[in-house]
């Protein structure tokens, strides 16, 4: 529901985009990003956000580019499903972000930006191939949309999703590696927030889906490869969340999920489902 | 400014902006006063959601308050409280409206505000937003809790009639 005339809404949106991608080396403020997300739901469109991003002088400054990528990630994740479709048309612009910084840049965001771009393109590509997913990977909605009667298709979905999870893991490691002792790293930590949420969404999805597949097919052997991969991803996530839980700034924003020490059983149906 | 002063200012604003009685009530319930909305006023508002005309006005105002800025975090927090209450005892319209506009609440899960004393007051809002999102996505629990409230109300009404 929108109470503002469209002119005023547009002006406010432009303001929010500008403020979210300001040149200060801080986290992009959630209130500005929230306004963009709410806009996509109110108007069922994200066209103005992309054009707004393009008119800002974002590419000239590495911090601004990085903040723009965080914002893009968040609106892809939490915005109206139409944002994913629009995002697929904007891949060329996302690619130019990666080319905007030479080397590591003066403030060390160069390789972070290039990696973030890679991750976002990978994510968008995943959504292109599996259009039945929403941005946050909610299992219930997927199941209600699609009956996973075809085990081959389910296998592929999970395997592709695991590749995306691996990408997230690579990127988070790089973010941690680029922390600088001299600063509070707020801007870099801000990128971890959507990563934690997304990786947990994917983790929950894979867990439910693998359990369902184990119940359905008798081919426990055929799934052994996925099980092995699931287990190693569990330990990787455990480490990632542990490291995140030591960042005061991050834990003040979101609660970092707590995983059990060992991966939950996929075969035993008595194990409680995840929160 | 002292608290009574603020109250006067609010009634002037109510008059100047030409708010309806119901909107004034919602503004009262979700004001910046440092105490929670009273049960009586929340109940009145929740009952009014059964009237279609009032319903629109109430949701309109709650929506405005929910989108308020960080400094007015109490507006946001109290609107969430009020919304939660209306979800439990208000009309069915509140439930369908809240579901359709879930993103407004969902995006508040990362609400941030540090007040002048350096206290993180956003945490209250984040927790409340999380609770409501969970409630809205759990159809069974929502039905359960609404039924329980309705039964309790019936029992109480019975006592009154004796």
pLDDT for residue B63: 92
Q: Measure CB to CB from residue A253 to each of B63, B101, B112 and give the nearest one.
A: B112
Whole-prediction pTM: 0.84
Mean pLDDT score of chain A, rounded to an integer? 86
Contact B112 A1 (CB under 8 A): no
Summarize pLDDT for A16-41 with one digit per residue, the tens: 999 999 998 999 988 899 999 999 99
Longest dimension (CA), chain A: 60
Distance from CA of B12 to the nearest CA of A (A): 23
Contact B109 A254 (CB under 8 A): yes
Beta-carbon count within 10 A of A70 CB: 23
Element (H, E) at A80: none
Q: Count chain A–chain B contacts defined by CB atoms under 8 A.
A: 39
Summarize pLDDT for A132-165 with one digit per residue, the tens: 888 888 776 666 556 556 777 788 888 999 999 9
Higher per-residue pLDDT: A229 or B161: A229
Summarize pLDDT for A111-137 with one digit per residue, the tens: 999 999 999 999 999 999 888 888 888
Distance from CA of A272 to the nearest CA of B (A): 17
Find which of B67, B103, B106 to mutate to test the A interface (most A CBs within 10 Å of its CB). Answer: B103
pLDDT for residue B15: 80
Asked if residue A220 has pLDDT above 80, the reply is no
Taking the C-alpha atoms of residue B162 and residue B158, their distance in angstroms, rounded to an integer, is: 7
pLDDT for residue B2: 47
Beta-carbon count within 10 A of A274 CB: 14
Mean pLDDT score of chain B, rounded to an integer? 87
The SS3 of residue B120 is: strand
Q: Which residues contact B17 (CB under 8 A, 6 or more apart)?
A: none
| Residue of chain A with shortest Cα separation from B70 | A31
pLDDT for residue A209: 84
pLDDT for residue A104: 78
B145 touches chain A (CB under 8 A): no
Mean pLDDT of A48-57: 90
Asked if residue A1 has pLDDT above 50, the reply is no
The residues with which B120 forms a beta bridge, in sequence order, are B114
Mean pLDDT of A67-80: 94
Contact B110 A254 (CB under 8 A): yes
B108 touches chain A (CB under 8 A): yes
Please name the residues between 54 and 93 in chain A that touch chain B, using a CB distance below 8 Å: 78, 80
A148 touches chain B (CB under 8 A): no
Split at pLDDT 50, 70, 90, the class of A46 is very high
Q: Which residues contact A253 (CB under 8 A, 6 or more apart)?
A: A30, A193, B110, B112
Q: Measure CB to CB from residue B120 to each of A38, A80, A252 and give the nearest one.
A: A252
Summarize pLDDT for B65-94 with one digit per residue, the tens: 998 888 899 999 999 999 999 999 999 999
Summarize pLDDT for B101-137 with one digit per residue, the tens: 999 999 898 888 888 887 888 888 999 999 999 999 8
Cβ A192 vs Cβ A247: under 8 Å: yes
A134: left (phi over 0), alpha (psi -120 to 50) or beta: beta
Minimum mean pLDDT range among A229-243, A246-260, B121-135: A246-260
The SS3 of residue B67 is: coil
Asked if residue A272 has pLDDT above 70, the reply is no
Mean pLDDT of B49-70: 91
Residue with tokens 């809002």: B125
pLDDT for residue A135: 81
Split at pLDDT 50, 70, 90, the class of A2 is very low
pLDDT for residue A141: 63
Mean pLDDT of B44-68: 92
Sign of CA dihedral B136, B84, B65, A68: negative
């Amino acid at each position: 529901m929108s109470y503002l005339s469209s002119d005023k809404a547009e002006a406010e949106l432009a303001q929010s985009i500008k403020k979210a991608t300001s040149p200060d080396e801080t986290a992009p403020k959630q209130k500005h990003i929230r306004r963009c997300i709410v806009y996509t739901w109110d108007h069922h469109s994200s066209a103005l956000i992309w054009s707004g991003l393009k008119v800002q002088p974002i590419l000239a400054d590495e911090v601004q580019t990085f903040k723009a990528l965080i914002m893009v990630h968040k609106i892809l994740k939490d915005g109206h499903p139409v944002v994913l479709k629009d995002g697929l048309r904007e891949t060329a612009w996302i690619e130019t972000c990666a080319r905007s910084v030479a080397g590591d840049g003066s403030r060390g965001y160069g390789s972070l930006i290039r990696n973030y771009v890679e991750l976002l393109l990978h994510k968008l590509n995943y959504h292109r191939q599996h259009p039945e997913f929403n941005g946050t990977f909610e299992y219930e909605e997927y199941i209600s949309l699609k009956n996973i009667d075809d085990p081959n298709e389910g296998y592929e979905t999970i395997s592709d999703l695991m590749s995306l999870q691996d990408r997230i893991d690579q990127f988070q490691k790089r973010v941690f590696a680029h922390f600088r002792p001299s600063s509070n790293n707020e801007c870099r930590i801000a990128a971890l927030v959507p990563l934690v949420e997304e990786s947990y969404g994917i983790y929950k999805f894979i867990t439910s889906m693998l359990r369902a597949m184990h119940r359905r097919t008798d081919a426990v052997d055929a799934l052994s490869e996925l099980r092995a991969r699931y287990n190693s991803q569990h330990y990787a996530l455990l480490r990632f969340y542990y490291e995140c839980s030591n960042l005061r700034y991050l834990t003040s924003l979101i609660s970092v999920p707590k995983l059990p020490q060992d991966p939950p059983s996929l075969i035993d149906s008595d194990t409680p489902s995840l929160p | 400014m002292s608290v009574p002063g603020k109250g006067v200012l609010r009634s002037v604003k109510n008059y100047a902006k030409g708010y309806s009685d119901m909107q004034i009530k919602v503004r009262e319930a979700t004001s910046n006063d440092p105490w929670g909305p009273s049960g009586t006023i929340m109940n009145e508002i929740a009952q009014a959601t059964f009237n279609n005309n009032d319903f629109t006005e109430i949701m309109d105002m709650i929506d405005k308050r929910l989108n308020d800025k960080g400094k007015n975090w109490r507006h946001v927090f109290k609107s969430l409280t009020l919304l939660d209450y209306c979800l439990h005892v208000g009309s069915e319209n509140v439930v369908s409206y809240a579901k359709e506009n879930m993103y407004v609440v969902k995006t508040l899960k990362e609400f941030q505000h540090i007040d002048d004393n350096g206290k993180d007051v956003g945490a209250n809002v984040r927790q409340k937003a999380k609770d409501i999102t969970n409630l809205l996505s759990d159809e069974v629990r929502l039905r359960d809790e609404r039924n329980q409230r309705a039964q309790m109300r019936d029992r109480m009404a019975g006592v009154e009639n004796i």
